[in-house]
Every structure is written in C-alpha cells, then in structure tokens.
Amino acid sequence: MRFGIFYELSVPRPFAPGVERAVYENALEQVRLADELGFDTVWAVEHHFLEEYSHCSAPELFLTACAMQTKQIRVGHGAVVCVPKMNHPVRIAERAAVLDILSGGRLELGTARSSTWTELAGFEIDPDTTKQTWDETIRALPRMWTEERFSWQGASFSVPERAILPKPVQTPHPPLWVTVTSPGTELDAAERGIGCLGVAAASFKEQERRTAEYRRRIESCTPIGAVNSQVATLNFLYCHEDPAQAASTGLAMLGLFGQSNAQLLFTREAYPTRAYGSLANLAPAPARREGSPGDASGVPEGMAIGDPDRIVRAIKEWESIGVDGVNFLLNAMEVIPQEKVLASLRLFAREVMPVFRKKGGA
C-alpha cells in the first residue's frame, strides 16, 4: 500500500496579503515532513479560477519546489489538464521532462480534461471536444518523450517534425495516470494501460466496482506507453489519539471541503452536453444520513479520520478491495492549524504506516 498526500491548495477568504503565501508555505512544510516520514508521493491538482477551493494553477512550479526540498518522495501532477487551449501537449511533455530531471526521476504524471464550466469557459474550450483532446494528448506524450524527433497530425493539434527537449530521466518515461471522478473513466484508463487516480471520495462499494472493472479491462489493454496498472483512491487524513477530537477536527475539514466544492459550477450544470456526466459533490457523503454508511462519530465510511486503530481498519478495507494507494487531503481552507496537521502526519507514520509496510508495500 502506497501513501500519498494530495493538494488542492484551498485558500480561505478574505484573500488578505500573505494568505496565499502562508497556504503554500504550510504545504511545503508538510511535504518536507512527509518526505522524512516515508510517504510515497505528493500530488498537486491543476485548477484555474476556483476561488477558495483551489489556488493551485501552476502545479509544475509547486511540485518543482517540493522536489527541490525533498529527497525521496515522488512528485505527482494530479493532474495536468490535457486540452491544448490550456496546455499545449508539447509544453506538457517539456515541463514534465524538466520536472523529472530536477526531481531525479520522481515524477508521476496524472492527466485530466477539467470538469468545471468555470475553467473550460475561462479558456474558451468547447466541452464537447475535451475527451478527444485528452485522448490525443496522452497518446502523443510517450512518443514525445521517447522519440528523437516527433511529428503529429491530429484533430486537436499538429506539430511538424521537431525534437522535443529535454527527455525525462525515467525510462521509458514517467508513469501516466488519469484522474477519475465519474464512473466509466476507469475503463478509459484501463484500455490505455494507464493508472487510475481517484480524485473524488468514493465509497467502498463504488471503489470496489471501479477497481474490479479496471483490473479486468487492463488485462487486454492496448498500451499507449509503459503500462501503469496502479489504482489509487482519494481520502482525508486526520489522525489523533483521541477519537472524539479526531472526529471533530476531521469533520470540520470535510464540511469546509464540501462547502467550497459546492460553489463549483460543473460543466453539465451550465452546458447541455453528453460529454460530461452529472457530478455530485466531490466530498464524501455525510455519515448517519439514511443509507450512508459510517459510524456514530459521524465520520463517513472509509475516511482516515480517527485514532490510529480506526484508520488502520479503514485502510485495510481499501487494501482488501484491491486499491494500491491512498492519497490524503490533509486540510481544507486551513481549518486545521498547521501544528495539528504535522502532528497528525507524524502519528499516522508512527502508528499506521508500519502496519502496511510490514506487508511488503513500497
């Protein structure tokens, strides 16, 4: 079982001078500690214009800073938006290669197509075309990284013969992933032989279905590059010896994440199209609602919020349904003071991580 930390870089209002910088500096301090504690990967999203929810519009810069301040932890785009009007495919390949070089071969490259009207309209992107441009981009990336000279004649971009420079350190290239929010994307991942990076909280049942489908389908994939057959899920982490305090603090984080997520304007809500499904809130469903599993503390099922024993039980459940990695959001809107976030990471590394490392996890 691999453990990652995952950043949206949410920033609470009011946007006073220094607030965004403090969020970034807190995150970097957490990343340095996570590296020392043995976490496997730090992931950063790419979002634009999403007030409060995510001020992470240049993740390649944040991840470069992470790489420069750490030794072991891998750095992951979770994910780069593969739509040429937002990121030209050549620029994606170039930036990724540089980050792979600077990090000493520690890059993971998640890919996505953006899910909000706010972002797509901000770059004048036609929602009907994003699946196609994502598909075209991810098929071109391995070739740009591995061929001495590359050319492409496609529907969404074309490049005359050019040397795409530099080349990444990892051979044949950094692992590729796709973010999964709506059902069905796991099949897109499997068919292309790329990893399945969950970025919305999923129930055990949904993740089990998704993982089984993925495992079944990837057996017969037509790989677009080196096969990455990992499945990772998104979670929230707040670990404290006192279960009540853990629940109270962790639920405050979940609540704020859910509220900030609620103000997003998903594409389908604005624009009638079959290219995007209806997305519910990306936060886990609250426990104790009728039909919502969870426990008496109010913590939704599977969330890594609680004392170490509870978190071990939750992660064992994820492990049993075939998930290879769990990535944790550590905070939302800075509602948890930094020292508590760091203490939670330390306690998790001391009491939870060894249970899974003993089993031979990386």
- Binding stretches for another protein (CB under 8 A): 13, 49-52, 117-118, 121, 258-265, 268-274, 278, 281
| Residue closer to another protein (CB basis): 50 or 347 | 50
Q: Label the pairing between strands 150-153 and 158-162.
A: antiparallel
CB of 49 to another protein, least distance (A): 8
Question: Could you tell me the smallest distance in angstroms from the CB atom of residue 141 to another protein?
Answer: 31
Cβ 121 to another protein shortest distance, Å: 7
- Shortest approach of another protein to residue 270 CB, angstroms? 5
User: Which C-beta is closer to another protein: that of 169 or that of 265?
Assistant: 265
CB of 109 to another protein, least distance (A): 28
Residue 335 or residue 355: which is nearer to another protein going by CB?
335
**Strand, coil or helix: 44:** strand
Integer Cα distance of 136 and 141 in angstroms = 9
Cβ proximity of 293 and 200 under 8 Å: no
Rg of the chain over Cα atoms, rounded to whole angstroms, equals 19
Q: For 81, what's the count of Cα atoms within 13 Å in the CB-facing half-sphere?
A: 23
Phi, psi of 318 (to 5 degrees): -60, -40
Nearer to another protein, 125 or 138 (CB): 125
Minimum distance from CB of 252 to another protein (Å)?
13
Cβ-based nearer residue to another protein, 151 or 263: 263
Q: Which of 263/320 has CB closer to another protein?
A: 263
The span from the CA of 231 to the CA of 267, in Å, is: 26
* The dihedral sign for the CA sequence 352, 353, 357, 359: positive
Contact 150, 78 (CB under 8 A): no
For residues 272 and 127, the answer to whether their CB atoms sit within 8 Å is no
Measured CA to CA in angstroms, residue 352 lies from 170, 274, 296, 336, 348 at distances of 30, 43, 22, 20, 5
